[in-house]
Amino acid sequence: MQNEDVERSDDEQRDVEHMLRHCKLTDEAKQYYEIIRFKHDMIKNDLLRNTLLKEKPQRDAMEETSEALDFLYHYMEGNVNYEERNYHASLLHYQTAKLYMKNIRGKKRAALFLQLGENLLQLGQDKLAKTQFNEALHISFGAYDQQNEYKRSQNMLASIQEPKSSPPVYESLLSRSLKKARSTHTSKEPFAFRDGYRYSPLK
């Protein structure tokens, strides 16, 4: 990075921060910006050529940061194109985002598969969409398994099926995944969303 590049990027960063003070951003957009700013600061401070970065932990941290940034970029671009009904363009972005999701966990990972399924439905790819919805469902329930809260996830399933009960956190994601996986069912066989547990599609 040349000195003039640093000066120009600093100016642009100040302009962006000024605009952000007058904008209401989603948490996802804020996270995206923070990753960009972090990566910019790393390059600006010459950390790429710093002897510290020769150590594997620092190299891994830089790689993970870059992958997270690429994931968020393509995920958000996919959402923009989806809202504009550019379904082929959004599909390309979602598929590209999957290439950078090695270190993406939990809700954000499930959300990508859910959105990818929605996109495939718009393109008439019902069978492929179903696999994405099932994957989102696996991940959503897996998030509870990691916290030793599978019993709570079972209670959540009951709350989804029983509207009068109060749904806990993750209800929206799980509910959408479950309903989409069932509504796009293409055969008479029930689908499995977790080892040892099977549910028949909605009638």
The DSSP output letter for 37 is H
- State whether 177 and 145 are in the same domain: yes
Helix orientation angle between 87-98 and 56-83, rounded to the nearest 10 degrees: 160
pLDDT for 168: 43
Q: Which residues of the chain have pLDDT under 50?
A: 1-2, 47-48, 51-52, 148-149, 160-171, 186-203
User: Which phi and psi angles does 192 have, rounded to 5°?
Assistant: -100, 130
The DSSP bridge pattern shows strands 191-194 and 197-199 to be antiparallel
Record the pTM.
0.57
- State whether 111 and 185 are in the same domain: yes
pLDDT for 126: 85
Alpha helices in 45-125 (DSSP H): 56-83, 87-98, 106-122
The Cα 89–Cα 97 span in angstroms is: 13
Number of domains in the chain: 2
pLDDT for 152: 54
Q: Which of 66, 84, 104 is at the close of a domain?
A: 104
pLDDT for 203: 28
pLDDT for 3: 52
pLDDT for 97: 95
Query: 148 lies in which domain range?
Result: 105-203
Q: Which tokens belong to 127?
A: 């069978």
CB 14 within 8 A of CB 38: no
| Positive/negative CA dihedral, 116, 118, 121, 123 | negative
- State whether 28 and 67 are in the same domain: yes
